[in-house]
Amino acid sequence: MKIVGLTGGIGSGKTTVAKEFKKLGVPIYIADDEAKKLMNTSKVIKRKLVELFGEEAYINEELNRPYLAKIIFNDESYLQKMNAIVHPRVAKHFQKWVKKQDSPYIIKEVAILFENGSYKHCDFIITVTAKIQTRIERLLKRDNTTVSKIEAIMKNQWQDDKKIALSDFVIKNNVLEDTVKQVQETHNQLLNSIYKR
């Protein structure tokens, strides 16, 4: 079974693209969602995050996201420390999940696939792109945020051209109808590549 990494900058529409692949019967693993679940359920992660951020890291057994976001926003080294706690456990969880799937390929959606080096474990990579203005508009609608916060996150992620250079496929997600067609084409190309090998 092949592992296909799906990535793209914040607001590019990775989730929309993942949903279209799911409609084609492709198993999807959304790493951020699984990380969030593990941060609320894993005793080891909880203990280590409390050691790192203090007792306020959790309120009523739930991760205190606004509190963590504030710390990370002011000191990026905390993000790296948190990722060092969470990412290895997500990787283990993913390996177990893969063993349960039965499909020519699965998709692993990771926002920071390149930044955290996990692209090296993928057989193929799809990068989702969208116009910067479109991305900002989507995020302003979706999240209770500001343009400056969005730009700060974008600055911490690799630029599209850098990702595209290392990708096998690029899906431009500006108009949904076009995106759906591109997903179908990419799916066909992936199947052709997998069965030719």
- Contact of 91 with 157, CB cutoff 8 Å: no
Residues 6+ apart with CB under 8 A from 8: 14, 17, 111, 127, 128, 129, 130, 160, 163, 173
The binding site consists of 11-16
Closest CA to 5 of 117, 110, 98: 110
Question: 10 Å Cβ neighbour count for 159?
Answer: 10
Question: 10 Å Cβ neighbour count for 47?
Answer: 11
The binding site for ATP consists of 11-16
